[in-house]
Amino acid sequence: MSSTIREAELGTKVTPLPARAAANTPVALDHRIARNPGMKLDLGFMESMRSVNRSALERRVASLTKRRSIKADNQAAWLLRAVACMDLTTLNSNDTEERVRRLCAKAINPFRRDIMEGLGISGETIRPAAVCVYHPFVATAVDAVRGTGIHVAAVSTAFPHGLAPLTTRLQEIEASVKDGADEIDVVIPRGLVFGAKWRELYNEIVSMRAACGDAHLKVILGTGDLATLRNVMLASMVAMMAGADFIKTSTGKESVNATLPVGLAMVRAIRSYFEETGHLIGFKPAGGISTAKVSLDWLVLMKEELGRPWLEPELFRFGASSLLTDIERQLEHHLTGHYSANHRHAMA
């Protein structure tokens, strides 16, 4: 076994990856996704996933974005789906309670009335799946979106670097849950990946999952810091084995954030975990996704690689702040043939 995977106290053998079910097996669209219970850390299973062909992934991504062209009414429908799968986010050093309240107001009413009427969806409820904020603003966000069905996600565990003591990070999770957050976005210490300290990383995420209670756990890998797709693949597997409900690319604070090749490696890890365990894991790309065109590329990737169930907010989210504005502009262009200025689409 490779030294990348081996831990001194374990003599795990490489085990083949079984194919128990097709990854795109359909589920009812109103199905409540069962939480991932996790599994015992299986270094043999990880060993079977360690070989990642970057050039092949890049060719696959290039083929997806070139041959899947979505136009006209179909494009509008896909953009509305992108909004429904969005975590509308503000993670700035100058955030205030008023800014968070404005963000929540935008989440509740994401489109101008004339756009809704023009699209013929004025009677529909199309909103971002969640708002994502720092811990001090969780209670404000919970109060602002109460009764709307919009979730509140809190970034925790010494975001964005994850370098505080574990006890401190767990206390932050517990505090956010106590304030009403029902989704917790945690960040892993990247050094554990570089040191191949898989058991330590696994144990930390298990502790985070326990601290979340009923809140769903989204594990941020910080892929821009992990250097290789192999590290991305292995960190993804550890996070899912430890009980992550979602795996997420980035904090948005790295120099390189969500990219399609990295996303493809992560969704293939999700597919393999599903084939191994039967549990559906969500995926959240975040950082740098700011245009409607890019959001369509990600939706195509999910549809092609994992299937229709992963186009629902229970299994797919965008981490985004400015994406909603560009989508609203694209929808207005679809109706009028003209692009409007950003300031005509109020944001936080």
Cβ pair 110, 126 in contact under 8 A: yes
Residue 6 CB partners (closer than 8 Å, separation 6+): 12, 43
- CA atoms within 13 Å, Cβ hemisphere of 40: 4
**270, exposed or middle or buried, with CB in 10 Å at 0-12, 13-18, 19+?**
buried
**150, exposed or middle or buried, with CB in 10 Å at 0-12, 13-18, 19+?**
buried
| 284 is an active site residue | yes
Q: Which of 182, 284, 303, 326 is catalytic?
A: 284
Distance of CA 70 to CAs 64, 65, 66, 184, 228, Å?
Answer: 12, 10, 11, 33, 32
| 185 is an active site residue | yes
Q: Which of 185, 225, 245, 326 is catalytic?
A: 185
| 248 is an active site residue | yes
What is the three-class DSSP state of 130?
A: strand
Q: Which of 87, 248, 303, 326 is catalytic?
A: 248
> How many beta carbons lie within 10 A of that of residue 175, not counting itself?
16
Question: Which of 241, 157, 231, 151 has its CA nearest to residue 190?
Answer: 231
Two structure tokens written together for 178: 């106590």
Q: Which residues are identified as catalytic?
A: 185, 248, 284
